[in-house]
Amino acid sequence: MNSISVNPVHTEHHTPLPAHRPLLTPGVWVLLFLMVIGAAFYFYRFIFGLKSVTHLDQQHPWGLWIAVDVATGVALAAGGFTTSALAHIFHREHYHAITRPALLTAMLGYTFVVLGLLADLGRYYNIWHPLWPTMWQGNSVLFEVGICVTIYLNVLYIEFMPIFCERFIGSQRYPRLAQLCGFLYRHLNQVMWLFIIAGVVLSSLHQSSLGNLMVIAPSKMHPLWYTPILSLLFLLSAVMVGFPMVIFESIYASWSLGIKAEVEILGPLSRYIPITAGLYLAFKMGDLVMRNSYVHLWPMDGPVVMFLLEMALPAIALVMLLSNRHRHNARWLFIAALLVVLSVVLNRVNVFLIAYQPPYATKAYVPAFGEFAVTIGLIAALIFCYRVIVNYFPVITHPELSRRS
């Protein structure tokens, strides 16, 4: 196979550049404050154990950290593989401008998934065990998730390597680094197609397996969520949330950096959302009908409301995005994308926390302050890292950035 250029076709209008914005804005100070609180609880947990920070108990082994930091984190990082599939595999060159931010989001997302997982693991120093061949347990769904996430994380770092290298190529300050970067940049691009496809394959595997995790506990799961096709629904929702996440994050970053949102790219991108969301909702409702589990929609208690909300949010976004006017308005785009993102967050929280109903539980699981603090701290740290990297590395492609430089 000929080596395929996966690098954007750079024109004077479409060159990714460092944003070079002032770093310590008031918003960033708030992020830092949240990070410090999160870090305090994070390290407190490592010194005094899970009991001291979390409300996990013998009935509720998985809490907020698994549901949000890990499961939701992986789902929301789906923008990386969906965008790279669209732009690089299906060669929709129009979208090259958004592949780098999406890649950065995915890379940071997965990095923080691992950081969040480290806090939750009781024997965190054994986190390498799934990689050790004598301990491989191929029957375990979690093994599949673990190994795919590990490889994918490395694939993401390799995919990001050219962006890192671009920053240092031709640097006078670090001549040796510049030389190495130049070498890497040239050779990585020749094999990058392998990693791009591997990224999509690995993502589709572990995004679905993440749903398969809870299939092993049929008797403990709320019937509205328990289905043997939970893995398919997870994959479909990951595909669904990929583009909205990119739109959400792109508009959010634009506003934050004080540049105009790139509606001319995000607008056409949003046309895929009604299709993916429709597919997801069709499968979800079809499953509801096929398994006759719609009978559990009444009486309308807490879980049922959560379920309806989770179903309603993408449906609203779907209807909103059918309108051409909405698709070309940054505000509407942002709201629609946010609805889809929220529905997937809700879905992951529902599956891992709300639907999990342990049989002998005497009290419900309510996350402790420390758990919220760590989760919020990790998200704040992710946004902070994004901000820093966007500032100093050529990630964002934007006409306004081009003009200033």
Partner 1 sequence: MSCSRRDVLRSAGVGLVTLTISGHSALASGPAADPGKVNGVLVDITKCIGCRRCEFACQESAGFEVPPIESFEDKSVMTEPRRPSPGSYTIINQYSNPRDPALPVYAKFNCLHCNDPACMSACLVHAFTKQADGAVIYDPWKCMGCRYCMVACPFQIPTYDYENPLTPQVRKCNLCAHRVPNELPVPACVKICPADVMTYGPRHELIQLAHDNIARYPDRYVDQVYGEHEVGGTSWLYIAGQPFDQIGFLNLPPEAPPRLTETIQHGVFKKFVPPLAWFGLLGAIMHLARPATAKESTPGNQP
Partner 2 sequence: MNKYSHRADIVLPILPVGLVWLMLWAPAALGQASSSQPASQPAAQDKAAADEIMGQDCRSCHTCDQPTHDQLCLNTCSRELNPRDPKMYSLKGPELVLLDELSDRYLPVPFDHKGHSEMAAMTSGCNLCHHYTPEGWEHPACRTCHEISPAREDLHKPSLKGAYHRQCLNCHREWSHETKCSLCHLPRTGTENGSTPSAIPSKDDIIGSMHPPIPEPELLTYQSKYMINPSAQQTQITFRHKEHIDRFGFKCVECHREENCSRCHEPQEARTNTPKEHHQPCSSCHQTEPLANDTEQSACRHCHQPIGEVTQPFDHAATGWSLNRFHQKLACRACHNSVPFTAPVEKPTCTVCHGNWSPETFNHGVTGQTLNEQHQEIDCADCHTDRRFDQPPVCTECHEEEEIKFPDKRPGEFSPPETLVPKVDSTTP
Residue 351, interface with partner 1 (CB under 8 A)? no
Among 21, 32, 59, 178, binds partner 1 (CB under 8 A): 59
Q: Which is nearer to partner 1, 167 or 328 (CB)?
A: 167
3-state SS, residue 386: helix
Q: Hey, what amino acid is at 112?
A: F
Identify the three-state secondary structure at position 397.
strand
Cα separation of 353 and 198, whole Å? 31
Q: How far is the CB of 272 from partner 2 (least distance, A)?
A: 6
Indicate which of partner 2, partner 1, none lies near residue 289 (CB less than 5 to 8 Å, by partner kind).
none
| 278: contact with partner 1 by CB under 8 A | no
Torsion angle (degrees, nearest 10) of CA 32, 34, 39, 42: -160
**CB under 5 to 8 A by kind: which of partner 2, partner 1, none does 268 bind?**
partner 2
Which residues are CB-neighbours of 62 under 8 A, at least 6 positions away?
56, 120, 352, 353, 356
Pattern 160-199, binding to partner 1, x per CB under 8 A?
------x--x----------------x--xx--x--xxx-
Could you tell me how many residues of this chain bind partner 1 (CB under 8 A)?
86
Task: Identify any residues that bridge with 396 across adjacent strands, giving them in sequence order.
Answer: 17
Task: State the binding partner of 69 from partner 1, partner 2, none, CB within 5 to 8 A by kind.
Answer: none
Choose the binding region for partner 1 from 30-38, 42-50, 311-319, 342-350 (rule: CB under 8 A). Answer: 42-50
Stretch that binds partner 1, among 26-34, 105-113, 271-279, 352-360 (CB under 8 A): 352-360
Residue 126 binds to partner 1 (criterion: CB under 8 A): yes
Q: Which is nearer to partner 2, 195 or 272 (CB)?
A: 272
Residue type, 198: A
Site string for partner 1, 215-254 (x = CB under 8 A): xxxxxx-------x--x-----------------------
Selected from 32, 40, 151, 316, the binder of partner 1 by CB under 8 A is 151
Of 330 and 378, the one with the shorter C-beta distance to partner 1 is 378
- Minimal distance in Å, beta carbon 89 to partner 1? 4
SS3 356: strand
- Judged by CB, which is closer to partner 2: 21, or 92? 92
Cα–Cα dist 334/261, whole Å? 10
Alpha-carbon span 242 to 75, nearest angstrom? 8
- Point out which residues bind partner 2 (CB under 8 A): 85-86, 90, 92-94, 200, 204, 208, 229, 231-232, 235-236, 239, 264, 268, 271-272, 275-276, 279
Q: What share of the chain is helix, strand, coil (3-state, %, to 5)?
A: 75, 0, 25
What angle in degrees, to the nearest 10, is found between the helix axes of 175-212 and 230-257? 140
Minimum CB separation of residue 308 from partner 1 in Å reads 25
Amino acid at 154: N
Report CA dihedral (79, 84, 90, 93) to the nearest 10 degrees. 100
Looking at the Cβ atoms of 333 and 368, the one nearer to partner 2 is 333
CB-based contact 167:185 (threshold 8 Å): no
Q: Which stretch binds partner 1 (CB under 8 A): 54-62, 173-181, 273-281, 282-290?
A: 54-62
280 exposed, middle or buried (CB, 10 Å; 0-12, 13-18, 19+)?
buried
**Distance from chain centroid for Cα 376:** 15
Question: From CA 143, how far away is CA 122, in angstroms rounded?
Answer: 17
In angstroms, what is the minimal distance from the CB of 180 to partner 2? 34
Determine contact, residues 149/113, Cβ cutoff 8 Å. yes
Q: Of 167, 156, 6, 178, which Cα lies nearest the Cα of 96?
A: 6
Which residue, 33 or 90, has its beta carbon nearer to partner 1?
90
d(CA 181, CA 168): 7
Which lies closer to partner 1 via its Cβ, residue 7 or residue 329? 7
**Does residue number 357 form part of the binding site for partner 1 (CB under 8 A)?**
no
Candidate ranges 6-14, 24-32, 279-287, 343-351; the one touching partner 1 (CB under 8 A) = 6-14
Eight-class DSSP state of 166: H
Decide which of partner 2, partner 1, none touches 86; Cβ closer than 5 to 8 Å per partner kind: partner 2
